[in-house]
Amino acid sequence: MDRSLKSPGLHVLEETFQRQIELSRSQAAPTLQARLDRLRRLRAAVTENEARFEAAISADFGHRSTVETVIAETMLVLTEIKHAAKHLKHWMTSRRIATTVQFAPARNRLIPQPLGVVGIIAPWNYPLQLTLAPAVAAIAAGNRAIIKPSELVPRFAELLAEVIERKFDATELAVTDIDDDIARAFAALPFDHLIFTGSTRVGRLVAEIAGRNLTPVTLELGGKSPAIIDRSADIDEAAQRIAYGKLLNAGQTCIAPDYALVPEAAVQPFAMRLNGHIQHMFGTDPANPDYTSIVSDAHYARLEALVADAAAKGAKILQPAAPNDPDWKDKRKFPPTVIVDATQEMAVMQEEIFGPLLPVLGYRDAADPINFINRRDRPLALYWFGTDNAARDEVLARTVSGGVTVNDCLFHFAQANQPMGGVGASGTGAYHGEWGFKTLTKLKPVFYRSRFNRLADLYPPYGAKIARLEGLMRFLS
């Protein structure tokens, strides 16, 4: 592109990136104290602006429950920062590694080093948490970073850029504009690592673009995460917990349960209990401040189409109001919807829902849920409910997913000591806590040769000495 035609934001992005690259190559890795200072400043950026972030996110959504922003975003970010600060000294310490006996008395060490410059492409659904949690990992690992917020949350993006600029030099941590030029160009920059959170469709495009520079990527995607109700489960308890996991952020959660697999005889009782818990939690009034709006008209229309398709193909629809009811639609709040007797032919079972719809499917044999899941792309999350430990362990052993919560939903994501990441179509790579530090660190192996080692015997001319050394190596292998 002709530089004269580029947007001002793209000019700034390119200049910031080049400056960060130059400094990452010319300056020593940040010390422990420098990294702790950056984490402290990031924490201050969040705590000093909590109310402003809550208001900006709510305005971008149309309405966002303040409680949901606090528990699912602010507190998780602050926990990540605290956890990283507490363990950072240990993570940064080089480690002695055992030396293969043939090379003794040489020494090995593993030395953590920053990769350099990290790009973060953030989504709109949890804009604070899914923007700053990767930034915590980047800072802890000693990297410089540039964040590209989602264009669907412009008020949040503007506020984030403002508060980060006040706390950080742009060579440490920067936030881009959200114009179209930035969106197209960001993934094409030769970052040392790129973290993308979003849909599988866009994730494929990001990976393809980044691959042209051989940029390693961490992809946090989505997919259809199942909830399995075992015959040993308490149906009412499972329904209550799934209702919460499904409707947090109005279902706009990448690890939300996407459908429920229920024993055939329990489908109707489960659906009725689920509907009852939904109404107890959120009532039937769209003005309920605990219930979050759908982020855009386009997303709302997509959900309407999914429900209409399911109804036309024979599903029973349970919801407190029709989606086109003006009391709901004007607030862009989609009525919580249970889709009973869903089938594989329905569009709602063929794409990630990302909204407050839960299809319920019946199964006959205990192996049916496992087979159903294994015929599809591997999910980002899986939820199992029941008390039969043997049945639980069979599901855990025979299915592959990004993560699992047993007898609840979502909470594996909040564990700072556990990795978060998908598999296959639901993502690649992982972060959170030490996993994020390692993802964004080069663990460099270093071999220190001893002057007493006989490695020179490997050099030509070989002759008899190599035969003796080969015999020794074989003996020790």
DSSP secondary structure of 411-428: GGGG-TTS-B---GGGEE
Which tokens hold the place of 318? 């349970």
Q: What DSSP state is assigned to residue 178?
A: -
- Whether 427 and 199 have beta carbons less than 8 Å apart is answered as no
Question: Contact at 8 Å (CB) between 29 and 112?
Answer: no
Active site annotation includes 73: no
Q: Output the CA torsion sign for 358, 360, 366, 372.
A: negative
SS3 61: helix
Residue type, 193: H
Token reading at 87 = 């363990």
Residues 402/356, Cβ–Cβ less than 8 Å: no
For the four alpha carbons of 214, 216, 222 and 226, in that order, the dihedral sign comes to: positive
Q: Do strands 225-229 and 217-220 pair parallel, antiparallel, or not at all (unpaired)?
A: unpaired
Beta strands at 144-148 and 117-121: parallel, antiparallel or unpaired: parallel
Q: One of 54, 73, 172, 220 is an active-site residue; which one?
A: 220
For 250-293, give the DSSP string: GG--TTSEEEEEEEGGGHHHHHHHHHHHHHHHH-S-TT-TTSPP
Among all residues, which ones are annotated catalytic?
A: 220
